[in-house]
Amino acid sequence: MNNSGSALVVGGSIGGLTAAIALARSGIRTTVLECRETFEGRGGIGVDYRMLCEATGENPDETLAYIYGYRRSTSFNALYAWLAEVGSRVEWLDMRLGVDVTKVYQDDEKAYATTDSVELAADILIGADGYRSLVRSAVNPDRLLTDYAGFMTWRGWIAESALPAETPSPSDDLVTLGYGRQMLVAFPLPGLNNRDMAKGLRTIGFAWHDPTRTKLLEDVGCVADGKILRGLEMDMFPPGLKDEMIATTRRMWPTPWREAIVECFEQDLAFGTPIGNYLPERMSRGRIALIGDAAHAVAPATGQGYNSSVEDAIALRDCARDGVAGAAGPAAMAEFERRRLPAAQELVRWSRQWSRTYAGSH
């Protein structure tokens, strides 16, 4: 394999790592820059295993634990651990944790990422840094923030063994429940070792969609002027909210999911995520491109958050097959946008419509 140029990937979560593996295996010398030093996810991820195999060159069927409801799902932790192990065996992939990128820019020759201690250069730069993307400033400088979709999602996960002893064992499948305008999606996930799916050894996760908390999100500074600024951690909860959520859980949701949610709130394992949509006007500019939530954030109800980033990774790889050095870099990024922008826009428009129907005015 000949070196066909270099890439910087800003953001080393599951979307960025998937793209980095795809690029490196196509011959692009790839460096991933991730601000976190460790990853500890807190939820489930829907995964198209066929696309994941195509993007990474590895078959996840035998090595990535999952549940099967209306789709295959696994935990963030299990998926990240699987990707990190695959990435550790890929030539020309350098994963750097604890690196905080403060600026990105480009000139006619290279794209650059500035950190606290060094400036790195490559032929292309990929922004995989989520819905609060720094890299957006180099692609869509007039549209930096993600639009608030009008609702939030309470999330959490807990070891099944930590549930009260009398709790019935949760089912093996993903479960969707409703209570008025509230919607609960609950599911078993791989255990703390990212592999066990036997009852008693799993973890139990939930995503509770709630369209009644816009004022709360605005009051605590998570949402302002219709834009998402940050997530809602339990240390931000106003007095009384934790007890309110526990009481509401006991009133709304049936066993055994009730017990799992109550334990998450009681043990400070729950958190809130304002849900957003980001409709891209473009996905690249010169040598810099956006993927995943940085490019096209959508509501989790679409079931396509991670899968759409895998589609981005496959398109990036295909567009970079002939290399990205010199003039080939901007050409590859322009072709990537041509291939992915229409589908990404269609997905976000669908997500917007679903969000308006569910949440009301947004």
Confidence of residue 216 (pLDDT cuts 50, 70, 90): very high
Hey, CA dihedral for 145, 146, 151, 154, is it positive or negative? negative
> What pLDDT sits at residue 69?
64
> What pLDDT sits at residue 195?
86
Q: Name the segment(s) of the chain with CATH classification 3.50.50.60.
A: 6-144+278-359
Hey, CA dihedral for 71, 202, 11, 213, is it positive or negative? positive
Confidence of residue 362 (pLDDT cuts 50, 70, 90): very low
CATH topology of domain 147-276: D-Amino Acid Oxidase; Chain A, domain 2 (3.30.9)
Question: Tell me: the pLDDT tens digits for 278-294?
Answer: 999 999 999 999 999 99
Q: Quick one: tokens of 315?
A: 């398109």
- By 3-state DSSP, what share of the chain in percent is helix, strand and coil, each rounded to 5? 35, 25, 40
Question: Tell me: the pLDDT tens digits for 31-43?
Answer: 999 999 887 766 8
> What pLDDT sits at residue 70?
59
DSSP string, 246-290: HHHHHHH--TTHHHHHHHHHHTT--EEEEEEE---S-SEETTEEE
- The second-level CATH assignment, the architecture, of 6-144+278-359 is 3-Layer(bba) Sandwich (3.50)
Question: Tell me: the pLDDT tens digits for 153-167?
Answer: 999 999 999 999 889
Confidence of residue 1 (pLDDT cuts 50, 70, 90): very low
For a pLDDT cut of 90, what percent of the chain falls above it?
Answer: 81
- Answer yes or no: are the C-beta atoms of 21 and 47 closer than 8 Å: no
pLDDT reading at 92 higher than 60: yes
Question: Which one, of 212, 124, 302, lies nearest residue 311 by Cα?
Answer: 302
Question: Which one, of 36, 39, 21, lies nearest residue 89 by Cα?
Answer: 21
> What pLDDT sits at residue 192?
84
Q: Name the segment(s) of the chain with CATH classification 3.30.9.60.
A: 147-276
> What pLDDT sits at residue 194?
86
pLDDT reading at 64 higher than 80: yes
CA distances from residue 30 to 46, 156, 245, 290, 357 in whole angstroms, order as listed: 26, 33, 44, 16, 41
